[in-house]
Every structure is written in C-alpha cells, then in structure tokens.
Amino acid sequence: MDCPLYEKIANQIEHQVHEGIFLPGAKIPSVRKSSKQMEVSVATVLQAYSLLEDRGVIKARPQKGYFVQEHQLQPSERIKIEPTKNDGTIHALLRRLLHASQDENIIQFGAAIPKSQFLPIRQLQRSVGRLMRLEPEICAAYEFTPGSLSLRRQIAIRMLDSGCQLQPDDITITLGCQNALMLSLQAVAKAGDTIAIESPAYHGVLQAIEVLNLKAIEIPCSAEHGIDLDLLEKAATEWDIKACIVTPNNQNPIGATLSHPSRQRIIGQSVEHDFTLIEDDVYGELSYKDKRERALKADDKHNTVIYCSSFSKSIAPGFRIGWVVGGRFQPQIEHYAYVQSLAIPTLTQTAIANFLENGAYDRHLRKTRLAYQDNLARCQALIQEHFPAGTETSSPKGGFLLWVTLPDHVNAMTLHAQALENDIGLLPGLAFSLTAQFSHHFRLNYALTWDNKTDAALKALGKLCQP
C-alpha cells in the first residue's frame, strides 16, 4: 500500500540527510518554505517534520526552526564500533582543501602546512645544490629500505632527546609520517580488525582505516587531558582491539599533550589488553617547552609501541621523509615498505641527514617555536574580540594548530563554504571523525606569515559567524 503524503515527504528529507545534503546541525527549510517548494499544505509539512522528530532525524528549536540532529551523545555513550563508512565526505572535503592549499590567493588556515618562512629552506637549498655538484651519482642509485644509514644514525641521536635509546637498525625510513602510520596498520591488523583512535582524529588516520577496511572505535579526546583513558579501558575490555593510534604530544587537531601518569597508564593498558600502541609523534619536536616530552616508545618495556614521525612539520613537508620504529613488527613493516616503494629518495634523505649533522636544527626549532607562540597569542586575541560570544579555542602547548568551537548557531561546513568564497581556507570539524561529529568546530593553522591580511581574514571569519 502507498504510504501517506507526509510520510513520503519525511522519507525524502531523511534520504537527503543520509546523502549529506543537509549536514548534522544544519537548518532545514522552514515549514512555510517547504510547503511552497513541494506544493503541499503547511499541515502536511508539519506532520512530516513531526515524524522526522520522532525518528530522531531533526530537532525543533523554538523561534529558530528545524535542525538536523547532531548525534552528540554523552561521553560514556560515545564509544561505539562504527563499521567503516566510505561515503566519500572526508575524501571530497580533503580534495577541496588540498586544491585550495595550492592557491596562493587563499589564506591558508586550512592545511597543516607551515609557511616556508618557518622551514630551513635556504640551508636545504645549499645542501641539495652542493650534493648535486659534488655527488651527482646520488641520483643514479636506489637507497633501498630501510633507508640511508647516515640519516638513521642522525635520527637515533635525535631520539635520545625523547628518551629512546635506539640503534640505526631499529629505524625504517618512510615516505612521511602518513606512510609510517599506514605501514604500521598493515603490519598489526588485517581487514575487519578494530582500531581505537582519538576523536577528533587526524584525518589521514581515518583515511588509512577506510582504505584498509578496518573498523574504528572513536575514543573521545579533550584538549586538556587528551584521549579518555577510562573509555579506552572500557573499549579494550569489551572489544578485541588490535591497536590504538595515539598522538601523545600536541595532538592534531585539538593540541592535547598527555600527562606523565596518562602515558604510564596507556602503556599499561596496551600490555594488559594486548594491543599495539601506534604512537604518532609528528608534532613532538614542536613543544613550546625547552625540553621536549618523552616518547611513549621510551618507556616501552614490553615492546607494545610502534613509533612514527617525520620531518614534514619542522624541516620540509615536500621532502616526504619520515620514519618508523617498529619494534617486534619491524620485519613486516620493512617488508611492506620494500614491496610498496622499493626505496626512498636518496637526495632528500642525504640533505636532511646533513642538516641534522651540522647542528642547525635545534636553533631552527627554537626560533620557530617562539614565532608559533606569538602567532597563537594573536590568533586567540583576535578570536576573542571578533567571534560571537560562546566561541572557545584550545590552548596548544606546541605545534601550530588551533581547535575552535563555535556557538550552536554556526555550522562549520557552511562557514567553510562562505570562507572559501572570501579566499579563506579552514578545515571543518567534520573531517576529523567517521561518525559525522564536530559540525560546530574547525581547525586553524597558525604557522602563517602574520600580517594585516591575516588579521583581516580572521576578523572576516568572525563576522561570517555572527548571527
């Protein structure tokens, strides 16, 4: 039997919500507008909206209209195994963002890429020039996995600062940290396995999980405390978790840094519940303190930690040089790395090894960390002054990413679209979860040349957020 008209209308709107036409938190057309658009009576639309409210698809807000439900559950309810969703939302968003990040006319608050003034470009230019002049044969040879010995030696020396005592043979060079994370996941899990991740999480982790057909459990993460370890405990007790990907230092996007007791606890949990910790330390060297935090790997007595990092955030994202310390998974990781790419570019590995060897890196880091702190203070002050009441920001203690929480009336996807029209890039919160969360949040990169134009862009964003 044919269903009544109001039910057909409700089904149609519900379908549009599932298709992502109306995003979580977005306002749907008013009753009067829908009645006109669909050429049905106001009473029929009201009946349809009321059915959608019963189904939990939309919610009425007095005086304001109807909005798509946000699925903001209480923290204790928020851990759930979500089968991998591959609806393309994140890919489409990131494609647009990456495209925008190549456009010099756009203010790049979106991508997590430092402006070149924060990278030692001139030193690298000299080093690459010298190598090409004196050792042109460098281009004619493969540097097979695990990669350049001189670079691995330099990394082992640097990692002493993070408390890790390593031999060059413990280290495999990768194509950036993304490649290190991907290889680690491939080594510890197979399709269908479950991985615990931070929520919000770095979008590259979400994409890796999608591509490898893994399941994710999103564990809520706060800017103050990082990943919620009570909920991780609950998840590990209830489900067979193969690995947990965690960023203990300056987490992307919310900037959290784990306390010392939390570090001990999460390592203990990985031993007790027999899962691997995949440590993403790509922002570890950018802590604002004089001395960087210890790596989880430094206290890995039971060999449950895989450590991943790269030089993309501090030396040269375009060189694509990262590394992984795989512990007991090292043989599988090296095997996958070899099969996937055979070798890593010799020129960029050697240039970075030379840069690390000549001792200029620490000076460079000290300078950039100070500049990031200045930019952060400026950003926070501008947001406080120009964004609507109720806007909140994180307080990162390192790195260059700020997490902005907007009042309920501002949808970050709408803001993203409006901002792009004004040549301003940002990354909406939706890109940081597989479960359509964070629709009132966005991430802001402050590793930019800060001038009047940047000030004006942030003020313009604030204006777009006003009711």
Ligand X SMILES: Cc1ncc(COP(=O)(O)O)c(C=O)c1O
Contacting positions for ligand X (CB under 6 A): 112, 176-178, 202, 204, 247, 252, 280, 282, 310, 312, 317, 322
Shortest distance in whole angstroms from residue 427 CB to ligand X: 10
Angle at 276 between CA 270 and CA 280, to 5 degrees: 105
Identify which of residues 49 and 307 has a Cβ nearer to ligand X in the complex.
307
Cis previous bond, 146, omega within 30: yes
Residue with tokens 């996007």: 253
Shortest distance in whole angstroms from residue 94 CB to ligand X: 11
Amino acid at 215: K
- Report the residue number whose CB is nearest to ligand X: 176
Shortest distance in whole angstroms from residue 6 CB to ligand X: 47
Shortest distance in whole angstroms from residue 321 CB to ligand X: 8
Identify which of residues 66 and 400 has a Cβ nearer to ligand X in the complex.
400
Identify which of residues 9 and 266 has a Cβ nearer to ligand X in the complex.
266
Identify which of residues 147 and 317 has a Cβ nearer to ligand X in the complex.
317
Per-residue burial over 80-96, b = 16 or more CB atoms within 10 Å of its CB, e = otherwise: eebebeeeebbeebbee
Shortest distance in whole angstroms from residue 450 CB to ligand X: 21
Identify which of residues 23 and 185 has a Cβ nearer to ligand X in the complex.
185
Identify which of residues 72 and 222 has a Cβ nearer to ligand X in the complex.
222
Distance in angstroms (rounded) separating the CA atoms of residues 438 and 333: 33
Identify which of residues 177 and 426 has a Cβ nearer to ligand X in the complex.
177
Judge contact between 457 and 417, C-beta under 8 A.
no
Shortest distance in whole angstroms from residue 257 CB to ligand X: 13
Question: Which residues make Cβ contacts (< 8 Å) with residue 16, sequence separation at least 6?
Answer: 22
Shortest distance in whole angstroms from residue 69 CB to ligand X: 29
For the range 32-38, what are the long-range contacts, defined as Cβ-Cβ under 8 Å and sequence gap of 24 or more?
A: 34/9, 38/9
Shortest distance in whole angstroms from residue 180 CB to ligand X: 8
Backbone angles phi, psi at 401, to 5 degrees: -120, 135
Identify which of residues 97 and 382 has a Cβ nearer to ligand X in the complex.
97
Shortest distance in whole angstroms from residue 386 CB to ligand X: 27
Identify which of residues 245 and 412 has a Cβ nearer to ligand X in the complex.
245
Shortest distance in whole angstroms from residue 322 CB to ligand X: 5
Identify which of residues 258 and 282 has a Cβ nearer to ligand X in the complex.
282
Shortest distance in whole angstroms from residue 205 CB to ligand X: 7
Identify which of residues 97 and 131 has a Cβ nearer to ligand X in the complex.
97
